[in-house]
Chain A
């Protein structure tokens, strides 16, 4: 059950929020826990026992690390075994999910937050959580369990132990952010998904070169809107409940280099890898060799974290190559202030990043090759078959509004209008968008992908 499911929206708005603010603030934390448990249960109830066991392990290891802080080797051993246990849990649940119907939703996000927690306690950045209710609420906080944002315990602890009082302004801002996110996902990303699905159904060998380019950019827009939409919904929900989650995107497609792109795309993940992998391994201040190694490890782990298939490793490898290049050989170009070079570097990002998304999106290498052979119209190795040269026209006709809307949403303009401009007109606009989303969700059945039509 995602945030754009009608049952979630109904349960959340009609029951959860009123109940949450009507109850005295002491009980609110219990209600939040109940809500989180319910959210997991509605997705897959069988994951709850794992969560309970995992909670006990993480809770006591956290306390243990602090308790043995004078005996460095013991606390270090605890941290390492905790991390190993957590990774083992993630890998086993990913592998098990391939053979079973039950999946541990958001296990990647869950894992790295617990690992981060151990490492931060070990480095004495903060005292471990000693209140089981707060820790459960941090672990299971339902707005962030599916797709992040990844948030450190440190940033949530204050709100968790003493939830903020009701504040109408916060509530409105939260609702606005939620509606913006929902519109991005429901009205645009979920529509553009069908273009991507159609092209895959046709088979990459039978699409025209121009359709391949359209697909690539459409997918890039769709991926951003889907992920950013979901993150905004999470941030909005958390804000409605009185919690602050960090923002996850900052108009990444407007970046001037790929390293900048990844400082503005999935920000919380990038920061996590920076703080827990890049810096501990040496980072960029201890010579080139260490920089090379830590950068390599960051991207290797990023690739593995996204999924246990080859394409993610290739994807991460390509990004590692380009980022390394930007930091070494081409450093001067990307630091230059010349307008022409700035424009060129922006175009370079808009050229390379969508291609890396195609590697990201296609799980098998043979099909990646097929796609790129059509993209550049190379017919020597993969021979095109039944290509309709004007197929792109049909897709432009069908998807143009979504593509234009999507492109606009890649710029910060919508956020400025819908969230930051608090006038009556934008309030009305939010209201319209909300009901448009509800209408679209109802019309297409609950989950647009589950009830896909043939």
Chain B
């Protein structure tokens, strides 16, 4: 006992150190939040993408154009067909005639730019969009490119969409979409250069959901779409809403929660322009009545179990662009 009370300084020491630590950890806690950000190796910079696309524009345009020219004859009939149909509705014969100009045939690239411009013109003049969502067949996905993160990787593995093209990678964000090597090799750039697509479906945003402001994120998203369209002027971009997470995840995780996801989805909607960028909310396909991913649909409350990918696919097929 004596021994114990003679150690009074020890207790003062212990208490003082606990108090100091209590104060100190408030700062350490904050530091830890930012620490991983500083440590990240190989972080994406916007400049990197700019350089990438610039380089592409200047040195490889000619090469790509000739590649496009090769597949032009095949794809062009498709495009003119769809343009023709829509123009029949609008009684715009001039557009079709323009397309038949022989020198434009030589480079499909220019044709597509023209088509895109024409569409924009029509849209601007208030004569309505070209497409609406409706039921489609599986062959619809023949000319679809999916870009996305691990959820899209899952779709490629368990969605039974063998005819679609996938450029997806676990951990992909809107900021590093052009930097990453995708599942199965190649980059998004490679996929965009490989062939012409009719529709490009994107779902990104869950990984970076907690970092940065929604405004900056949507701006980055918009930049990515611009870059995609520069390479694929004829393709229609479909922005899929970020799939929500389970209520457990939403409550426990600091940054990845449905509030953040909703906020970003709302901002994403604004990017749609009604003629070559569309927004598709896929959450009705998978969420419960409270707007959460049901807990028995997912192990980690983020990814669907393999057997539930059909919900997403079915929804895409009942909401195809027509």
Q: Give CA–CA (A127, B8) in the complex, Å.
A: 22
List residues of chain A with CB within 8 A of the CB of B154. Answer: 201-202
Q: Which of B37-76 contact A (CB under 8 A)?
A: 39-42
Q: Give CA–CA (A447, B15) in the complex, Å.
A: 31
Residue-wise, chain B 7-48 has the 8 Å CB interface mask toward A (1 for contact) of: 100110110011001101100100010011001111000000
A130 CB-CB contact with B under 8 Å? yes
Chain A count of residues within 8 A CB distance of the other chain: 37
User: Nearest-CB distance from B3 to chain A (Å)?
Assistant: 5
| CB <8 Å contact, B300 and A445 | no
| CB <8 Å contact, B14 and A130 | no
User: Nearest-CB distance from A89 to chain B (Å)?
Assistant: 19
| CB <8 Å contact, A203 and B207 | no
List residues of chain B with CB within 8 A of the CB of A33. Answer: 14, 17
Q: Which of B120-175 contact A (CB under 8 A)?
A: 149-151, 154, 157-158, 160, 170-171
| CB <8 Å contact, A385 and B39 | no
B306 CB-CB contact with A under 8 Å? yes
- Which of A40-48, A104-112, A325-333, A426-434 is near enough to bind chain B? A40-48
Question: What total of A-B pairs shows CB separation below 8 Å?
Answer: 102
List residues of chain A with CB within 8 A of the CB of B40. Answer: 445
- Which of A68-76, A131-139, A213-221, A231-239 is near enough to bind chain B? A131-139
| CB <8 Å contact, A454 and B303 | yes
Q: Give CA–CA (A394, B157) in the complex, Å.
A: 11
With both beta carbons as reference points, the residue of chain B lying nearest to A55 in the complex is identified as: B14
A26 CB-CB contact with B under 8 Å? no
Main secondary structure of the interface of B (DSSP, over half): helix
List residues of chain B with CB within 8 A of the CB of A34. Answer: 17
List residues of chain B with CB within 8 A of the CB of A386. Answer: 158, 160, 306-307, 309-310
A37 CB-CB contact with B under 8 Å? yes
User: Nearest-CB distance from A31 to chain B (Å)?
Assistant: 11
| CB <8 Å contact, B300 and A388 | no
A401 CB-CB contact with B under 8 Å? no
User: Known contacts A201-B299, A203-B307, A386-B158; is A45 also within 8 Å of B39 by CB?
Assistant: no
List residues of chain A with CB within 8 A of the CB of B149. Answer: 453-454
User: Nearest-CB distance from B4 to chain A (Å)?
Assistant: 6
A-B CB contact pairs (8 Å), 16 listed: A7-B32, A33-B17, A37-B17, A37-B18, A52-B14, A52-B18, A130-B4, A132-B11, A200-B300, A201-B298, A202-B305, A203-B307, A205-B305, A386-B310, A451-B36, A454-B151
Q: A37-B18, A48-B22, A197-B300 are in contact. List 14 more A-B contacts (CB 8 A).
A: A30-B10, A37-B21, A41-B24, A42-B28, A45-B21, A48-B18, A130-B4, A132-B10, A202-B158, A205-B307, A206-B305, A388-B158, A442-B41, A454-B149
